A and B are shown apart, each in its own frame.
Chain A
C-alpha cells in the first residue's frame, strides 16, 4: 500500500532530463522575471532613477566630449577623422552597452561568493547563470546605449561610405557580435571570481578598457597591443575589423579581407569558451559553510 502511495510519477517528472530548448526557455523566463522585479524596485525611487539614467547618458556623453575636444585640436587622429572615430566610438559603445545591460551585473558575483549569498542562487529552481546575470538588473544602463546609438547614427549620416547591401548588413551584425564578445568577457570575468573573489576589477580592464580601446582607431595604438586585442582577447572583432571594412580602411595587421567578416564566428567561439569557464567556475564553488 505504502509503495503505491509514493508519488513516483511526480518524482520522475522532476528529475526527468529536459530538452535543451526547454532548459533555455526556463532560464530566459527566470531571467525576465528577476529583471522585471529589479526594474520595479528601482522605479520606486523615481528621482534617483531618472538621475541615474541621465547620469549614465551624460557619463558617456562627456566621454565623447573629450573625443570632440581632441578633434578640435587636430583634424585627424591616427589618420582617422572625427566622423570615422565617432563611428568606432558609437559601435563600441552600443556593443558594450547591450552586454552591460544583459549580463553586466555579473561582476557582483565575487561579493556573493564572499558573503555566502551565492548559496541562495543554487537552491532556486532557475539556472544560476540566469540568476547571476539578472541580479540587480539596471535599466539605467539604457542611458549608455542611447548615447552611443545617437553618436553612431550621427556618424553614419555623415560618413562618405558606399552603403552597399553588405555594408548596411554589416552594421547590425557588428553590433550584435560586439555585444556577444563583451558578454563573453563579462561571463569569463564572473567565472574567474569563483576562484578570486576579490579580483572583480580585473574584468574592467577588458570590458570598459576594451571599450576605451576600440572607440579609437587601431592606428593610434602600438602594433603589439593591436595584436593582443586580435589574437589573445579578440576585442578587435567588436568593431575594428568590420568597421574598417565599412570605412574602406586597410587592416592594421595586414590580415586577409575575409577576416573583416569573422566577428559573428569569433563571438560564438568566445561565448562557448565563456560558457565552459562559467561551468568550471560554478563546479569549483565551495560554500562558506556558515
Chain B
C-alpha cells in the first residue's frame, strides 16, 4: 500500500514540476470556458430551463467542464500514452517482472496526476469565471464532499477506460488510433460538448447510462445539487458500479494479453 501511495505522490509532483505549462493550460481552459459560456448563454436565453438547468446552472456546467477536463483526462494525455509506448517498445516486459501490480501502479500514478490537475487546472479558471459570470455554487458542505467523492470516482472510471484502451496496443502495436477514438467518445458522451440532459430522446438516455457520463455529467450534477436525498448516493453508486465493471474488465484483458502476446524487442 505504501508503495502505491509513494507512486501517487510522485505522480502529483511530476505534473506539479511544469509550472509554465500549468499556467498555459489555465489560460487555455479560461479562453475556451469563455467561448463556450457565451454560446450556452445564447442558447439558454432563447430556451430558459433547457435540460432542467437555468442560466447560472448552464454556465457553471461549462466551467466545471473546463475544471474537470484535465482531471478526468477527457482529452487523454495521462499515463496511457506512456503505457502504449512501453507496450510498443517491449519495455512493458520489465514492468511485468516488477513486484508490483501493473494496473494498481498506473492507477496510483494517475490519481496523483488527477489530484494535481484538479487543484492546478481546476481552481483558477473557476475563480476567473466567477468574476465575470454568475455561477451556481453549492450551498452546503455535504454537497462539496459529495462532489469530491464523485470526482474521485470519475477519475477511477476514466482510468479504467484508458487502461483498457492502452492494453489494445498489445494487439494493434500502435495505439494512437485507439487513443483518439477513446478521446472522441469521452468528449462527446461525458457532457463536455453539451450537457447530456440536452441530448434528444434515446441518445440522451443512452449517453446518461454509458460510463463516460461518470466523468463529467454526474459530478457536475452533484455540484449543481440536481440530486435530492438518496439521489446523490445513487449517482455515486452508478459511478462506482461502472468503475468496478471496467476495472474488472481491465484485469481480465491484462491476463489475456500477458499470456497470449509475445512481447516485442530483443
Contacts and interface: CB of A to CB of B under 8 A. Distances in A.
B120 interface: no
A52 B43 contact: no
B39 A220 contact: yes
Interface in A52-101: 52, 55-56, 58-59, 62-63, 65-66, 69-70, 72-74, 76-78
B172 A204 contact: no
A55 B184 CA distance: 7
Interface string B47-60: 10010000000000
B194 A66 contact: yes
B28 interface: yes
Interface residues of B, number: 40
B42 A59 contact: no
B139 interface: no
Given A62-B187, A201-B21, A202-B28, A55 B39 contact: no
Contact of A48 (B24, B175, B184, B193): B175
A147 B24 CA distance: 29
Interface stretch (A7-15, A32-40, A192-200, A273-281): A192-200
A287 to B, nearest CB: 20
A49 B177 contact: yes
B38 A221 contact: yes
Nearest to A58: B184
A205 interface: yes
Contact of B38 (A48, A72, A200, A225): A225
Contacts of B200: 69, 72
A232 interface: no
B198 interface: yes
A4 to B, nearest CB: 55
A201 B32 CA distance: 12
B212 to A, nearest CB: 12
A16 to B, nearest CB: 42
Interface centre among B19, B50, B174 (most CB of A within 10 A): B174
Contact of A205 (B27, B39, B181): B27
A209 interface: yes
A262 interface: no
Contacts of A78: 42
A167 B23 CA distance: 43
A221 B36 CA distance: 10
A196 to B, nearest CB: 6
Given A73-B47, A221-B38, A209 B28 contact: yes
B20 A196 contact: yes
A216 B42 CA distance: 10
B43 A74 contact: yes
Contact of A77 (B34, B43, B175): B43
Residue picked from B28, B47, B50, B178, most chain A C-beta under 10 Å: B28
A69 B47 CA distance: 13
Contacts of B42: 77-78, 216, 219-220
B67 to A, nearest CB: 16
A69 B35 contact: no
B199 interface: yes
Nearest to B23: A199
A52 B180 CA distance: 7
B206 interface: no
A66 B39 CA distance: 12
Given A65-B188, A201-B28, A220 B38 contact: yes
B25 interface: yes
A62 B32 CA distance: 17
Contacts of B181: 51, 55, 58
A50 interface: yes
Contacts of B28: 201-202, 204-205, 209
Interface in B133-150: none
A231 interface: no
A73 B194 CA distance: 12
B18 interface: yes
A222 B41 CA distance: 10
A199 B21 contact: yes
Contacts of A72: 200
Interface of B: 18-21, 23-25, 27-28, 31-32, 34-36, 38-39, 41-43, 46-47, 50, 172-178, 180-181, 183-184, 187-188, 193-194, 198-200
6 contacts: A48-B176, A52-B176, A52-B180, A55-B183, A66-B194, A198-B18
